[in-house]
Each structure stands twice: as structure tokens, then as C-alpha cells.
Structure 1
Amino acid sequence: MPLTRSLPAALCITLVALLPAGAQEEAASVPQAASASLTLTLESSGDIERKLALYQCDEGPALTVYYINAAPNFLAIVPVDGQNHVFAAALSASGARYVSGPYEWWSKGGDATLRDLTQDEDAAPLAQCTESSNTP
């Protein structure tokens, strides 16, 4: 069962990302990994909902996706290639469609697809996933 949590009128999201290590020549002057964080404050006239969903994908590891619904802002935090990307809701005829740079995360019912929009329309998706009933 997905975790759903309603919060009062404002929500702060803190994202932490590891930056890749520099070249070997720079190893002496640059730490192996540096971390950075970003805090984003969303205002909403109603409740703010945060939902955690676990997806089992056809190929590759399971994906843990966080949905944040703070009207008029609807976000999904999706891991892509080991990094969390913040996706914003986009126009969709059916289901919930989110985009982040070249990536598209589209969910409908319990199914979801991750695509790289820079690839041809006929290209296979990066991941085809089904929401699991067990969440961490």
C-alpha cells in the first residue's frame, strides 16, 4: 500500500546529489565526491500530499518514486541512471505525465514508462514498470 501523507500549506523538499569525482590529475586537490543540496519551497492553498511508490521494472532494478502534489505544482522524483531527477507534471490526454530535461515518466493505473525523448519515437523505453504492492 503506498504511503500517503498530507502536510499543511507549505512543503520544503531537500534533494542531495553526489557529484562525480574529478579526473585523476585533480584527485589531489578535489575530494573524491562532493555533495550538494537544494531546498525548494512549494506554497499551496490546500493540503500537500507526498506519496511513495515502488515500481518493479521489466529490466533493471526496482524504482522508488516520490510524488508530491501541491496544487498547482505536481512533481515526481524519479531515479535515472543513479541520480534523482525532479519531474514536473505536463499535459496528458490520459494518466499522469511528468518531464525532466530529456526524460518523460508516464504513469497510468499501476503501470509506468520512462523514456528518453531525444531518442526516436520507435525507440524502446528506458524502463517499463508496474507498481508493487509493497513499499519500503
Structure 2
Amino acid sequence: MNHSTIVTVVAALLLLSVPAGAAQSSLQIELGTGGDFERRMVTYDCAAEAPLVVTYLNAAPNFLALVPVAGEVEELVFAAVISASGVRYAAGQWIWWSQGVDASLYDATLGEDAEAVLTCTEINNTP
């Protein structure tokens, strides 16, 4: 088979939980794709002290979002899951849901009908 495969390297370093005093480790993930790769960094206003920067990695069939979540040691890697509208990403107990220029963070442990713990709007610096 003579297939052209684009290999994308997710440059997100995930520090693994290790005992105190032990060396830190990193993880590199390679995603093979038969199509294009897109990396977008989107800055959101979430009514917090500082803007939230989310990195979206689109390499069909994999769609990921790197989201910094308050209280978590490192950015979390969210994977796209089925959604009725917008793009819904999941990582452990967290759901990141983007719809147009708006995005929200939900804590799934609070129940299906719980309010978002963070509501954001994309900052567009286009003049």
C-alpha cells in the first residue's frame, strides 16, 4: 500500500502523577491522519482575572481541545464526543462545550442539569 500519512505530534506535555522527589515524566502523542491538520489557539473572556486560552487540535478523525481548568495541575486533554449542537469535549469529570463564539465548562459530577461552572465568550481582536 502506498499511502501518504501525515503524522502530527501533539506538543502538549502531560506531567504524570509521581511521588514527591521522583523525576517528572512527559508524554507525547502521535496522531496519524489522512487529511489536513489544524491547530487553533482561541482566547476566551470568562469574566475571570485573566483570559482563558484553549488550543484546538483537529486531525480527522481526532478532534482535541487542551483546556486549562482551575484546580487542575496541568492543562487537560479533552476529546470530542457526540453533541446535538456545537462541539462537546470530555476529559474525566469535565465537559467543555463550544458553540460558535461561546464556550462553557461543566462538572459532570454535579449532575446532568447543573449550571456551567464557567461561561466564556471568544475574544476577537479583529479591527
Normalized against structure 2, the TM-score is what? 0.81
The 3-state SS of whatever aligns with 1:37 is coil
Cα deviation for residue 15 of structure 1 reads 2.6
Residue 119 (str. 1) matches residue 116 (str. 2):
no
Aligned partner letter, 2:121: T
- Higher RCO, Cα 8 Å, sep 6+: 1
Cα deviation for residue 10 of structure 1 reads 1.3
Residue 57 (str. 1) matches residue 46 (str. 2):
yes
The 3-state SS of whatever aligns with 1:94 is coil
Q: Which runs of 5+ in 1 are unaligned?
A: 1-7
Distance 2:18 2:53 in 1: 25
The one of 99, 103, 106 aligned to 2:94: 103
Partner of 1:36: 25
Partner of 2:13: 16
Q: Structure 1 runs of 4+ off > 6 angstroms?
A: 19-22
The 3-state SS of whatever aligns with 2:84 is coil
CA displacement 1:8-64 (0-9 Å, x = unmatched): 811111333557896xxx7xxx27xx5331100001101111111001103453211
Partner of 2:61: 72
More strand by proportion, 1 or 2? Answer: 1
Cα deviation for residue 125 of structure 1 reads 1.7
After TM superposition, the structure 1 stretch with the greater mean CA deviation from structure 2, 108-117 or 74-83, is 74-83
Q: Which runs of 5+ in 2 are unaligned?
A: none
